[in-house]
Amino acid sequence: MKKSLIALAVLAAAGAASAQSSVTLFGVVDATLQHVDNRNGPKVTRLTNSGYNSSRLGFRGTEDLGGGMSASFWLEAGLANDDGQGVATNANNQAVGAFNAVTGANAPVRAGTQGLTFNRRSTVSLAGGFGEIRLGRDYTPQFWNLTVFDPFGTNGAGTTQTLSSIITGVTAVRASNSIGYFLPARLGGFYGQVQYYLGENVRGGTAAQQLVEDDGRGLGVRLGYAAGPFNVAVATSRTEYGAGDVRQSNIGGQWDFGMAKLMGHYSRDRNGPVDADGFLVGGLIPLGAGEIRLAYSQYEADLAGDPRTRKLAVGYVHNLSKRTALYTTYARVKNSGGAFNSAVPGATGTGAAGGTAVNGTGNAFDFGVRHSF
């Protein structure tokens, strides 16, 4: 009888413990039929992904530690659902070497050949009244203002031109080996984040190693205020490289008028001796079961000729349910000062569209379906 009571007590304790923790499987599958037309340049029609929301597969869990404290993990992998490939990650916030078909070298891997990686986020956290301490690969503070205050959420053909610059480097969106701190909630509308990340290079080695020993190490800070319909935030960061440090600073804001949300941001970047700046103004207009998305963005580098790219984007999202949506986007870019950017940022390589002619124009059209779970 006594053994039975002990067994029941153990089972009850185990049940209580399991009730205090949870694990969730989640994801997004977003398929996009896209046409990119670079006038006087290459064109492509392709089935791609992530035109509205980034495709992903993730696992997250939280355990209640008592006393207002909790522990959690978050593992999130990017998916190219149009061909079934995983999305590559970056081990130390430094550029990876290109694949060499002759020697077979690729450092560390070729994109699409590495299988599933938790490239989007891979963290473990402790949280409480003091805020949250988060360790692992995570979004950088300097990225948030560009995506939060972009009507297109930095996805698809409408992505803000302020994110398309090549000068912002490896840590423009995420950083590996990061140690982050987030302010607690209930601070009268104030929120913030500090993140320090490591390049993990050998220190005190050879002369060649000493030149790059700080590569990939950086610090980012973001502070914002949100109350009612108003939200504004400022961020700044610096990532060290022997070839020249990368600095990013931006400010963004949003005002919800009810009948529409007006948003915008301004960014100032520097990579070694090269400076650049850009801005976005846009909005979201509710319409029936969906919303209209509008944005105008520009990015200009402080180089010979002052190369500048301007983009106008308009789109519509129609929600079939809480988890499924149809969407379409049209974007047009105009280059000047020697710029040749495509309407789709980073559209280079096999099956992509490359860039326009110098000082050329380009168009892009997306039509897709997004399902989340």
- Measured between alpha carbons, how far is 264 from 295 in angstroms, rounded to an integer? 9
pTM: 0.88
- Measured between alpha carbons, how far is 193 from 191 in angstroms, rounded to an integer? 7
Say if residues 264 and 253 touch (Cβ distance below 8 Å).
yes
Say if residues 333 and 356 touch (Cβ distance below 8 Å).
yes
- Measured between alpha carbons, how far is 350 from 352 in angstroms, rounded to an integer? 5
Average per-residue pLDDT in the chain? 88
Looking at residue 4, its pLDDT comes to 45
In a 3-state reduction of DSSP, which class is residue 161? helix
In a 3-state reduction of DSSP, which class is residue 29? strand
- Measured between alpha carbons, how far is 59 from 353 in angstroms, rounded to an integer? 34
* Cβ within 8 Å of residue 72, ≥6 positions away: 60, 61, 62, 63, 124, 125, 127
- In tens, the pLDDT along 31-51 reads 999 999 988 878 889 999 999
Looking at residue 109, its pLDDT comes to 56
pLDDT above 50 (res 7):
no
Cis peptide, bond prior to residue 108, ω within 30 of zero: yes
* Residue % of the chain over a pLDDT of 70: 86
pLDDT above 60 (res 13):
no
Cα of 138 vs its chain's centroid, Å: 9
- In tens, the pLDDT along 84-94 reads 989 888 888 98
Total count of domains within the chain: 1
Domain assignment of residue 10, yes or no: no
- In tens, the pLDDT along 310-322 reads 999 999 999 999 9
CATH number at residue 202: 2.40.160.10
pLDDT above 50 (res 337):
yes
pLDDT above 80 (res 20):
no
What's the average model confidence in pLDDT over 20-38? 93
- Measured between alpha carbons, how far is 157 from 344 in angstroms, rounded to an integer? 5
Host domain of residue 162: 26-372
pLDDT above 60 (res 297):
yes
Domain assignment of residue 4, yes or no: no
Say if residues 296 and 310 touch (Cβ distance below 8 Å).
yes
pLDDT above 60 (res 171):
yes
Looking at residue 12, its pLDDT comes to 42
Q: How confident is the model at residue 67 (pLDDT cuts 50, 70, 90)?
A: very high
Looking at residue 203, its pLDDT comes to 84
pLDDT above 50 (res 233):
yes
Looking at residue 98, its pLDDT comes to 54
User: HSE (CB half, 13 Å, CA atoms) of 261?
Assistant: 21
Looking at residue 15, its pLDDT comes to 46
Say if residues 358 and 149 touch (Cβ distance below 8 Å).
no
Domain assignment of residue 16, yes or no: no
Say if residues 324 and 371 touch (Cβ distance below 8 Å).
yes
Looking at residue 346, its pLDDT comes to 55
